Structure 1
Amino acid sequence: VDRGISTYAYPLSDRSEESYMDSPFKGWGEKQNQKNSASYVEISAASSATVTVKSHGDLLGQVNWGELEQKGQVSNDRVKAEIIDRGRNWVHTTVIDDDTGKPIPCRIHFRSVKGVPYAPHGYHSHVNSDMGTWHIDNGGDVRLGQSSYAYIDGTCQGWLPRGEVIVDVARGFEYEPLRVKMRVEPGQRNLELRIKRWCDMKADRYFSGDTHVHFLSTQGAHTEAQGEDLDVVNLLLSQWGHLFSNTEEFIGHPSVAHNGKSIVYATQENRQHVLGHLTLLGLKHPVDPWCSGGSNEAEHGGNLETTLSHWADACHDQGGTVILPHIPNPNCEPATLIATGRVDAVEYLTHAIYGHNEYYRYLNCGYKLPLVGGTDKMTSDVPVGLYRTYVYIPDNEEFNYDNWCKYLRAGNTFLSGGPIIRLTADGQPIGSTVDLPGNGGMVEIEASCDSIFPIHTLEIVKNGQVAASTEEGKGAKALQLKTKLHVDRHSWIIARCGGPRYVQPTLHNDGWRRGIIAHTSPIYIAVGEAWWMFDSETANYMLTLAEGGLSYIRKTARHYSSGSVTHHHGETDHQAFLERPFMEAIETIHKRMHELGISH
């Protein structure tokens, strides 16, 4: 614009209004339009101004601003320009919980019927202009593909277009999302919307949390958690080369919101680029160093100062909880951690089957490991709690952070990326052990899933293989499965649900394009004695990884010259300090093999 100013030109949705309104993913964004047509731009200019439109340097056309103001629409062979702002009102919006009649925290998106977003005042129509947001602009709003949402306390205000306006509202997985078209009349100053809870997991004593969040402030985490109906946020300090994040948030105890509706605990993810990553929940004191071994995680060129196992020990010494995040990557030390009993639970970040198979591998080798869900949120295109962990806390126990971690370790948990999934075996809940006589028997399995999103498959997996399933090709909001399985040896079962055949999930519109799935922790089935399982292939795999860890320490990792450094642990033999957990793992696995009479 030669005599005025303009914003960036942003692409509008390439879906029809009808398609957008009828989408089964109301409240959860839409796929980004990667094309440049149609686009909108905000312009303020003199009547004599010329608006020039180019694409990749190619001139598409020019429009006289005064003529466009007068006619409302001007076209040439390659460009049609139209003024679409026909007036606006400053509107106060309230979102009401239909059950309580009171304003409810949520996230909200407004747009005109043309698709132009109108963010509430103080929020962004396009988070960081639709560019990357790693470590920046991380709080108060979230972008899901084409749509940016504002996290509000149930009230907001700002400009809305006169005439028809589309409002998109969501609050986690337990509220029915709302996508509705309303009218804003001249002079109108108020707008009221209502959303309704369709299930109440807290009433069933399941409390949700995200095990893996970065960069938010504590208050920002409370705001986003309440907007997503999430009970717990684990806000993880970490190191990224010479960048240390969230140092100022660490207080060594939980932050409980003034209304008691959310808990944020600033704790740590400690990382080593070859050995692996480790999430340390509930730390009362920092576990230093946060990262080790150079590369992009610790100081550039830094030495290998410690291992994940020592971090896990330091966490447990404080009464903390150790999570193996995004199983299994990086995949050098996880086997050592699991073999030596240092892992309290493992985490899925995505629907990747590779992670599933690694988890099942360890279960088949007899390691009891609850499953949790986390987002690894580092950007504004990931809602906190998009993958979340539901933890069962008994009626006689208070919901607080310590109990949430305690019962997470106990194993009655499930991961949800949308669906609410349930599982029992002979009436016993997730995380329990069903005891059968020595000759085994039939076990009655019941599973169900309910969802605000369409789901296609509900499966029972036994010892890593699908043992029973039900499918709904067109997708459904609820699926049930009841079956009997014959069990004649120690086993485990889980329930999982998602897209067609489960391995082809429907995708969220977050930056990771995560699958819409849910997955329980195991129920264990013991036959004739205390539960155990062993798999020789997995044991040898674990030995290979542990030996690889020793090789990395001895041959590849960077070390300071002996005698030139006093290490944080105070031991004189740093090499022995680093190798000790791997030697413990190898010895432990060998001992199991010897006890079972297995050669190696």
Structure 2
Amino acid sequence: MDLKRYFNARRANTGEGFAARPGDTGWIDSLRGLQTHRGMPFLFGTETGPDVLELRPGASPAVIALPRATASYVLFVQVVADRPSTSPEGFGEIGPATLPVEGNPLGDRVATYGLRYADGSETDVPVLRRFAIQQNHISWSASAFAALPLRGPIVHASTGEDFILGRGPGACFFQGEARTQSGRMDRQGENLWLYALPNPYPDKELSALSLHAEQEISLVFAVTTTTLTQHPLRLQGRRKLKVRLPPGAHLNKLGELDVDDRGEQIGMDLGTVISARAVLEYSRADWLGAKVDVQPVRSANEVIVEYSAHPDARLYLRSDDGRLHMFELRSLEGGGNEGGASLNVAAVEPATRPVKIRIVEKGSGVRVAARLHVHGAHGEYLPPKGHHRKVNTGRFEDFSGEFANGLNQYAYVDGSCEADLPLGPVFVEISRGFEVRPLRTIVEITATTDNLTFELDRVLRWREEGWVSSDTHVHFLSPQTALLEGKAEDVNVVNLLAAQWGELFTNVADFDGRTTIGAKDFGGDGEFLVRVGTENRMQVLGHISLLGYEGEMINPLSCGGSNEAAIGHVLEATMADWAERCRQQGGLVVMPHAPNPQAERAADIVLGLVDAIEMMSFNPRTAQISAFGLADWYRYLNIGCHLPLVAGSDKMDAAALLGGSRTYVRLGQRDFTYRNWMDAVRSGDTFITVGPLVEMIVEGRRPGGTVVLPRSGGTLTINWRIESVSVPPARVELICNGTVLEEIRCGGLSCKGQLSVPISDSCWIALRARGSVAGREADIAAHTSAVYVKVGEMPIFATADAVSVLAQIEGSIAYMDTLAPKSDEARHARLRAALELAHHRLHHRLHELGASHHHAPVHSVHVEREH
């Protein structure tokens, strides 16, 4: 409708009730000429004259002539004057309100709108405040009941996705993670309201509108009519289509079409495209087979379009050459190829059947936590309620108990959840660690399916033999989320580490130096534990994990400058200093993510300040146990530093798998407590794994123990076994002083054997298993800690390895002497002295053993410039 001759006021002069406020963007004033909002065309006033129809009480009705035509609804863009907030009667003075109440008053009759028909009949409709009309500025709770904001909802990419796509964030971090925003502006910002007045006689021709103000001033900006049979502002719930893209339309770096409000790649007029993600094509045979990790193939030209729309909406696609393709939704949902367009479409069964899912232990029927994945017939992920449709894998962006493994997404559940599922086949995967057989199956959902129960079979019983599993390195999760993920991954001990990242501090408030979440003393069942420790870090000298210590937090969490500490933060501690304090407070000292950083860690190991060395893998599908990390550990074993292995995930995002790389520790006769777990690690009977469970006994001695032979040596009997529920061990390697002594091929998921090995020199022996989550032949799947063999009085000492370690210590001293930002001279000298002591100790050992060697001279504190 062109209302130009009926406009009687200018927006800028409409009075205090319509005045702009600080925070307004001028959006209302930008509404000029022909514009489309929520898929509907409106003709707004121009700047050259009156540009709005003001309805003022006491004035004559505004009668707007209509071209004779039928209409099912008449749509108004309108607003009522802002009403000042008033104090409750008799309440007295009030201060600032946390929750404003602007726009809450309702029910006053703002106006009466009349529909006049060509046959002379007419009908009147009341227009009530906060029903058909609302004021401009409102509080967050004051939505209208029968009108929508003129702005439509907005779809955002997450902050991390925007950066991947090479553009700035389209919204603040919170809104980006929420992925959506309604068109309603609250607290700050302007609103106009879109009201669809239903015509009770849609078959009769209209001739005019009569708009009569009653109790309040209001403004009408634009009017349009429609013949849609269903309410034009009421949209359907989420639906999905599988769409083959027309030529020239391509997916972005995320494997999606860009549905962000700033883009023009895909959209709908009477609705919103929520997402348009590549179809994931799964092999049914692989899904039901024994493959460890079944990944789908991402389609390059088919997408699942998820949307909420009016039944008469149109879908628009823009190809890379700028051409716009338009398709009627009714035709698409019917599986048609509207107008012969190059768009092949398949309707995706809507996920509308609420189904309760229970996961129980086979035999006992006890509900157990697990990691759950469900997808539909077209590869579409079907998360349980309360979980994301798209798991956010950005670092420090989301910690909601989820995991993304390649293209597969998972939710952690406590054994019971509810999911909205489509009718037809759904594909289910459930896992629970390394001793429970993973389940992959296909179930048929019918109109009568209310419940699904899945049984998980614990086929390995290593926990009953005294073994407990652990992850030594987890960040960012809340303690309760860490406990849930630990239970679901069958990880008995989760070490959640507070840390500093420049100016960012994480998990600091979770540390109290006392509580072990899940322990019987703190209300748990004692089977799954979470303890908050710290990872103390420096950019150059290295990182150190301090687990389970009691009392005050060991500060600083980082020092020596960025990235670990803040810029300008001086070197006020070394790892040796932190390690000594941890031990004094009863904690366990772990060198994380071997082999890096290679610097001060060498000195601390030589000084005997370290209890274990950690191998780290974010996700075994990407990379398993590091060969470089193991080689680094071998180096220390080869110079007589007998340290056990531990493993952790260093989980910092949903793409990292808690316990994907884990430690198994044998408690023996000890009860399972966190304190006993630390003692067991120190004892050294550990192995690390991404799946297979391994055990090695050398002449009755377990890892961490020592076999003593006479000077003449002897023959050792070595018994070993490997068991797995999913990752098959391809071969087993017996490692002696870092080299392969024996190799045995394995078949199936389990194998065991006995070896006899002649030994003439002091050495260490460990078992290494090859096997892969992702089918890579060279991957290392498991490794035991070492059994030490002492032949006579002969030491284990490799000169080349000692020189390599010495060089790291020399480098650390050089850093302290040249670049490290000093706190004060006395403290700096004390910190440096620990490094020099380690250098002296190892250097003296080289000379004591008469080992010929060459190394850089240690820096002198008296030399001001050496570089």
How high is the TM-score relative to the length of structure 2?
Answer: 0.63
CA contact (8 A) 1:162 1:186 kept: yes
- 1:41 deviates by 2.1
Q: Using the aligned pairs only, state the percent identity.
A: 34
Tell me the residue number matched to 2:564.
297
1:100 is aligned to 2:353: no
The match for 1:44 among 299, 305, 308 is 308
1:575 is aligned to 2:828: yes
Q: Assess, with a 3 A threshold, how the Cα gap between structure 1 residues 393 and 49 changes in structure 2: closer, same or farther.
A: same
Q: Assess, with a 3 A threshold, how the Cα gap between structure 1 residues 354 and 178 changes in structure 2: closer, same or farther.
A: same
- 1:210 deviates by 0.4
1:66 is aligned to 2:333: no
Tell me the residue number matched to 1:354.
628
Tell me the residue number matched to 2:269.
2
Tell me the residue number matched to 1:539.
802
For 2:717 and 2:321, locate their aligned partners in 1 and report how far apart those are by CA, in whole Å.
67
Tell me the residue number matched to 1:313.
580
Q: Assess, with a 3 A threshold, how the Cα gap between structure 1 residues 76 and 347 changes in structure 2: closer, same or farther.
A: farther
Tell me the residue number matched to 2:811.
548
CA contact (8 A) 2:357 2:417 kept: yes
For 1:582 and 1:102, locate their aligned partners in 2 and report how far apart those are by CA, in whole Å.
54
CA contact (8 A) 1:164 1:181 kept: yes
The match for 2:727 among 432, 447, 453 is 453
For 1:339 and 1:214, locate their aligned partners in 2 and report how far apart those are by CA, in whole Å.
28
Tell me the residue number matched to 1:83.
347
- 1:584 deviates by 0.6
- 1:70 deviates by 2.9
Q: Which amino acid aligns with 1:590?
A: H
Tell me the residue number matched to 1:566.
none
- 1:247 deviates by 0.9
Q: Assess, with a 3 A threshold, how the Cα gap between structure 1 residues 269 and 33 changes in structure 2: closer, same or farther.
A: farther
For 1:23 and 1:434, locate their aligned partners in 2 and report how far apart those are by CA, in whole Å.
40
Q: Per-residue displacement from partner, 1:351-382 (whole Å, max 9, x unpaired)? A: 22211111111111111010001000000112
The match for 1:190 among 434, 448, 451 is 451
- 1:55 deviates by 6.3
The match for 2:837 among 584, 593, 599 is 584
- 1:198 deviates by 0.8
1:250 is aligned to 2:514: no
For 1:92 and 1:506, locate their aligned partners in 2 and report how far apart those are by CA, in whole Å.
31
Q: What is the correspondence of 1:412-427 to structure 2 with a 5 Å cutoff?
A: 412-427=685-700
For 1:577 and 1:406, locate their aligned partners in 2 and report how far apart those are by CA, in whole Å.
30
CA contact (8 A) 1:14 1:38 kept: no
Q: What is the correspondence of 1:492-507 to structure 2 with a 5 Å cutoff?
A: 492-499=764-771, 505-507=772-774
Tell me the residue number matched to 1:18.
285
Stretches of structure 1 lacking an aligned partner (at least 5 in a row) = 500-504, 563-571
- 1:245 deviates by 0.3
For 1:487 and 1:293, locate their aligned partners in 2 and report how far apart those are by CA, in whole Å.
47
Q: Per-residue displacement from partner, 1:575-600 (whole Å, max 9, x unpaired)? A: 21221111111111122123223355
Q: Assess, with a 3 A threshold, how the Cα gap between structure 1 residues 162 and 546 changes in structure 2: closer, same or farther.
A: same
SS at match of 2:301: coil
SS at match of 2:448: coil
SS at match of 2:728: strand
For 2:680 and 2:755, locate their aligned partners in 1 and report how far apart those are by CA, in whole Å.
28
Q: Which amino acid aligns with 1:114?
A: H
The match for 2:589 among 322, 332, 346 is 322
- 1:515 deviates by 5.2
Q: Which amino acid aligns with 1:219?
A: Q
Q: Assess, with a 3 A threshold, how the Cα gap between structure 1 residues 87 and 264 changes in structure 2: closer, same or farther.
A: closer
1:287 is aligned to 2:540: no
Q: Assess, with a 3 A threshold, how the Cα gap between structure 1 residues 516 and 187 changes in structure 2: closer, same or farther.
A: farther
- 1:133 deviates by 2.4
SS at match of 2:345: strand
Tell me the residue number matched to 1:265.
531
Q: CA RMSD in A?
A: 2.2
Q: Per-residue displacement from partner, 1:316-358 (whole Å, max 9, x unpaired)? A: 1112111011112111111101111111110101422211111
For 1:536 and 1:337, locate their aligned partners in 2 and report how far apart those are by CA, in whole Å.
19
SS at match of 1:588: helix
Higher relative CO (Cα under 8 Å, sequence separation at least 6) belongs to 1
Q: Which amino acid aligns with 2:833?
A: R
Tell me the residue number matched to 1:212.
473
Q: Assess, with a 3 A threshold, how the Cα gap between structure 1 residues 59 and 371 changes in structure 2: closer, same or farther.
A: farther
CA contact (8 A) 1:458 1:479 kept: no
- 1:87 deviates by 6.2
Q: Which amino acid aligns with 1:122?
A: G
Q: Which amino acid aligns with 1:487?
A: I
Q: Assess, with a 3 A threshold, how the Cα gap between structure 1 residues 55 and 322 changes in structure 2: closer, same or farther.
A: farther
For 2:763 and 2:321, locate their aligned partners in 1 and report how far apart those are by CA, in whole Å.
64
CA contact (8 A) 1:444 1:484 kept: yes
SS at match of 2:817: helix
Q: What is the correspondence of 1:142-221 to structure 2 with a 5 Å cutoff?
A: 142-221=403-482
For 1:271 and 1:438, locate their aligned partners in 2 and report how far apart those are by CA, in whole Å.
44
Q: Per-residue displacement from partner, 1:470-525 (whole Å, max 9, x unpaired)? A: 225xx6312334221110010111111123xxxxx44399xxxx956111000111
For 2:476 and 2:319, locate their aligned partners in 1 and report how far apart those are by CA, in whole Å.
36
How high is the TM-score relative to the length of structure 1?
Answer: 0.91
CA contact (8 A) 1:142 1:383 kept: yes
For 2:274 and 2:665, locate their aligned partners in 1 and report how far apart those are by CA, in whole Å.
46
- 1:255 deviates by 2.3
CA contact (8 A) 1:458 1:480 kept: no
Q: Which amino acid aligns with 2:534?
A: Q
- 1:159 deviates by 0.5
Q: Per-residue displacement from partner, 1:541-587 (whole Å, max 9, x unpaired)? A: 22211111111011112235x5xxxxxxxxx6122122111111111
Q: Which amino acid aligns with 2:428?
A: V
SS at match of 1:362: helix
Q: Which amino acid aligns with 2:810?
A: E
SS at match of 2:371: strand
Q: Per-residue displacement from partner, 1:30-88 (whole Å, max 9, x unpaired)? A: 44655543321211222332212356676584422111123366696753222111563
How many residue pairs get aligned? The number is 571
Larger radius of gyration: 2
Q: Which amino acid aligns with 2:590?
A: I
1:117 is aligned to 2:381: yes
Choose 78-87 or 94-103, whichever is displaced more: 78-87
- 1:162 deviates by 0.9
Tell me the residue number matched to 2:402.
141
For 1:56 and 1:559, locate their aligned partners in 2 and report how far apart those are by CA, in whole Å.
57
Q: Per-residue displacement from partner, 1:244-270 (whole Å, max 9, x unpaired)? A: 000110011242322323111101000
Tell me the residue number matched to 2:744.
470
Tell me the residue number matched to 1:387.
661
